[in-house]
Amino acid sequence: MIRAFAKISFTPDVQAVQTEMGSRAAYRSAELGVAEEVALGDAEQAFIAERDSFYQATVSQTGWPYVQHRGGPVGFLKVLDERSIGYADFSGNRQYISVGNLRGDDRVSLLLMDYPRRRRLKIWGRARAVDERTEPALLAQLESSDSRAPVERGIVIRVEAFDWNCPKYITPRYSRDEVEALLVQARQQTVARQAESRLSM
């Protein structure tokens, strides 16, 4: 995935800074790599399916980036195939900034985080909105059975590139469910140690 990522990310301005900072030679080799088939592998698909949130960036007509947090039940961001992902878009504060931005520029960038394991996956793609009227079967694929919020549309993203980031500087954070699971594990270990202690007396 390195060449596709480099082609999108390493603009002339980025290359200039890389040259100034002494990293250009190392990253130039990524741009010259073998042409690759952009496809989400098993590791990427599993990681996406386990997420309960992500951050999505779009670009406005005036060139300003807009970053929005999207959240839902685990698995609400769905892998449709090796090149496509999507999610159901629920009714929110009705500003429609991301949806409006996509009408003028379909490029998106997603940042998917796994804070406890200090992992992150970046995805670049082109997004489009789908609705009940035009593509009901596709919209049905994006809906989650355990969600009660009304779905206004679906967002389908054609993946253009992705990249795994290093864990450096990711601060571990835990959801309530993750903390509860750790507490259950800790209690079980305590009970097991107490039982072993009684047996050794």
Question: Domain ranges in the chain?
Answer: 1-36, 37-192
Alpha helices in 22-107 (DSSP H): 24-31, 42-49, 97-104
Strand order in the sheet with 107-114: 65-71, 53-59, 107-114, 119-130, 151-165, 84-90, 78-81
Domain 37-192 falls in which CATH fold?
A: Pnp Oxidase; Chain A (2.30.110)
Task: Give the pLDDT score at 1.
Answer: 52
Contact 94, 85 (CB under 8 A): no
Q: Tokens for 199, please give them.
A: 């047996």
pTM of this prediction exceeds 0.95: no
What confidence tier does 148 reach under pLDDT thresholds 50, 70, 90?
Answer: low
Task: Give the pLDDT score at 26.
Answer: 85
Model pLDDT for residues 89-145, shown as the tens digit of each residue: 887 778 899 999 999 999 999 999 999 999 999 999 999 999 888 899 999 899 887
Does position 160 have pLDDT exceeding 90, yes or no?
yes
Task: Give the pLDDT score at 29.
Answer: 79
CA 71 to chain centre: 11
Contacts of 66 (CB under 8 A, 6+ apart): 57, 58, 59, 60, 97, 98, 101
Report how far residue 6's alpha carbon sits from residue 187's, in angstroms, rounded to the nearest whole number: 47
Write down the residue that tokens 């195939």 correspond to: 81
What confidence tier does 201 reach under pLDDT thresholds 50, 70, 90?
Answer: low
Phi/psi of residue 122, each to 5°? -100, 135
Tell me what the mean pLDDT of segment 54-83 comes to.
95
Task: Give the pLDDT score at 28.
Answer: 86
